[in-house]
Amino acid sequence: MASKKKMTFLSVFINGLLIENPTFVLMLGMCPTLGITTQAMNGVGMGLATTFVLVFSNLFISLLRNIIPEKVRIPSYIVIIASFVTMIDLMMQAFLPDLRASLGTYIPLITVNCIIFARAESFAAKNPPVLSVADGLGMGLGFTCSITILSCIRELFGSGTIFGLQMMPEGYPAMAIMNQVPGGFITLGLLMVLVNCIRKAIETRKTKEAVA
């Protein structure tokens, strides 16, 4: 990532979305990544809920970074994060009850999601509000895109559908393993190989262009 002097809203956003993608690069938030990604809608719902918490917890932690005493910073982060998790939980119960029921305890567990804590401690507590919002938005949407792609693949091969729409021909022999945790590990591993190959190819190209 660029030095602090060169950081802009866009560079911080792209860093979270692509360069330091929380799922494929940093490997954070693995519990929901493997636990709820059997349906594409679950991936979108979980990702957007996490993005909401990331953006607003980053914002408030950044605003209060010079006020929160060092000795109680972790408990303070927990209170701030838990407050926004409660908000999104209540909103989902009110407006998206079926999705909330499908995600189950994974929504309250956003409070202890390592993506949230990592960004609070390593970024929001050290940077101004605008950049902290960019970081939360980039990381959140990076997480959302990652688990949605993972969910689509698992749903397609596990049920023959994507977002509930039939994509495979009638009589398609569904792969039951895709609806189980091992299917999540297999799919995630293959996607990480693909992402790393793409990143390596891009880095190699940049190196060649720099030498030329």
Q: What is the DSSP string of 7-55?
A: --HHHHHHIIIIIT-TTTTS---HHHHHHSTTSHHHHHHHHHHHHHHHH
d(CA 188, CA 111): 23
Q: Is residue 1 part of a domain?
A: no
Residue 3 lies in a domain: no
Domain presence at residue 77:
yes
Report if residue 59 sits inside a domain: yes
Is residue 21 situated within a structural domain?
yes
pLDDT at residue 2 in the model: 41
Query: Is 158 contained in some domain?
Result: yes
Q: What is the pLDDT of residue 5?
A: 53
The DSSP secondary-structure symbol of 66 reads T
pLDDT, residue 4, reads: 46
Domain that residue 94 falls in: 9-165+175-211
SS3 of 166, please? strand
pLDDT along the chain (212 residues), means of 10: 67 91 92 93 97 97 94 94 97 96 94 93 95 97 96 95 91 90 93 90 85 76
Cα distances (Å, whole numbers) of residue 166 to 48, 89, 171: 24, 30, 11
Would you say residue 83 lies in a domain?
A: yes
Please indicate, yes or no, if residue 14 is contained in any of the structural domains: yes
What is the model's pLDDT at position 127? 96
Q: Please give the tally of structural domains in the chain.
A: 1
